[in-house]
């Protein structure tokens, strides 16, 4: 019998990891998983390559991944480069006609095609589209209420060409996931006026996941997830528990709208939504194919 050594021990450990992943792979076999890809992980070439490889592995394992991406930092960088100053209201970019042209150029152009190319370089068959293709995403102009910090009076602000979903026609996505193709979708939509609107990527991903009745929606961000008052990661939250943490101030600031969006998606029929730190290598695989997961999961109930 050959003598054991470091290489065989390492190989055995890798085989054990793969074996442990089997029941989780079976759980997601033929299931649709929507992945919102955003944050600074998109700007890191090494993490981008890891992400692309993991998406190909999901497809190869029988999962149907649907990638929806953001692009805020890249949009801001190009706007600065061409001398267009950005204005923000209530945390959302005010998007005039000139800004919208840049937004569409970056989202449906450079970023979308970079992600497609990365996935294809790893052996996948990714196809890049936007919410405008095949009328995937219908939107209406988003009207945002913000509070005046001096008077605390609420007012409605005009965000320009920023939209919110009104309906989703998933036919084009369903055709793609029913084949060997991997959809990569830019969060743009068309209004009843025929204009193109920018849609918050989290909101867009939630609407698509809901319509597809996805098993999971994974939100890759720049944070670990929800932290308790001691700064420890909260691994799982029911809707009721999440509401309580908002009420007592544990969930605050920008995490509130993200969690509220998660709750809405779960209520629409998606089994669970998970907030994950996209800067963690293999975050998607850790969440789906390991026991401990990788972020904060929001679901209707503990055994739901």
Walk me through the domains of the chain, giving residue ranges and CATH numbers.
25-299 (3.40.1160.10)
pLDDT the model gives residue 2 = 53
pTM value is 0.88
Q: Which phi and psi (to 5°) does residue 234 adopt? A: -90, 115
pLDDT the model gives residue 150 = 64
Q: How many CB atoms lie within 10 A of CB 193?
A: 8
CA distances from 137 to 63, 164, 192 (A): 23, 9, 11
Pairing of strands 92-93, 88-89: antiparallel
Nearest to 221 by CA among 259, 252, 247: 259
Residues composing the chain: 304
Q: Which phi and psi (to 5°) does residue 190 adopt? A: -115, 135
Which residues in the chain come in under a pLDDT of 70?
Answer: 1-8, 12-14, 16-19, 23, 90-92, 146-153, 303-304
pLDDT the model gives residue 290 = 83
Q: Which H or E element spans position 97?
A: helix 97-104
pLDDT digits (tens, 9 = 90+) for 149-169: 666 667 777 889 999 999 999
pLDDT the model gives residue 304 = 46
pLDDT digits (tens, 9 = 90+) for 175-205: 999 999 999 999 999 999 999 999 999 999 9
182 Cβ partners below 8 Å, 6+ apart? Answer: 55, 56, 59, 65, 66, 67, 119, 124, 125, 126, 127, 176
pLDDT the model gives residue 93 = 73
- Cβ pair 72, 37 in contact under 8 A: no
């Amino acid at each position: 019998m050959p003598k054991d050594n470091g290489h065989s021990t390492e190989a055995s450990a890798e085989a054990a990891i793969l074996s442990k992943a089997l029941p989780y792979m079976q759980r997601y076999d033929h299931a649709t998983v929507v992945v919102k890809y955003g944050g600074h992980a998109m700007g890191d070439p090494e993490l981008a390559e890891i992400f692309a490889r993991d998406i190909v592995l999901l497809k190869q394992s029988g999962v149907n991944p649907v990638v929806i991406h953001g692009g805020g930092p890249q949009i801001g960088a190009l706007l600065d480069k061409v001398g267009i100053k950005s204005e923000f209201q209530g945390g959302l970019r005010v998007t005039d006609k000139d800004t919208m042209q840049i937004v569409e150029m970056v989202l449906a152009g450079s970023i979308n095609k970079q992600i497609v190319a990365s996935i294809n370089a790893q052996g996948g068959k990714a196809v890049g589209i936007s919410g405008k293709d095949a009328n995937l995403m219908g939107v209406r102009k988003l009207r945002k209420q913000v509070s005046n910090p001096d008077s605390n009076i609420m007012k409605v602000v005009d965000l320009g060409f920023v939209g919110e979903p009104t309906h989703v026609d998933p036919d084009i996505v369903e055709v793609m996931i029913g084949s060997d193709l991997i959809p990569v979708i830019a969060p743009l939509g068309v209004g009843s006026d025929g204009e193109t609107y920018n849609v918050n990527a989290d909101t867009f991903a939630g609407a698509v996941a809901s319509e597809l009745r996805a098993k999971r929606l994974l939100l890759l961000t720049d944070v670990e997830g929800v932290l308790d008052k001691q700064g420890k990661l909260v691994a799982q939250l029911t809707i009721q528990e999440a509401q309580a943490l908002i009420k007592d101030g544990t969930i605050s600031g920008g995490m509130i709208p993200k969690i509220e969006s998660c709750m809405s998606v779960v209520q629409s029929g998606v089994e669970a939504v998970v907030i994950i730190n996209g800067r963690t290598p293999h975050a998607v695989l850790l969440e789906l194919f390991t026991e401990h997961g990788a972020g904060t999961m929001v679901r209707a109930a503990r055994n739901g």
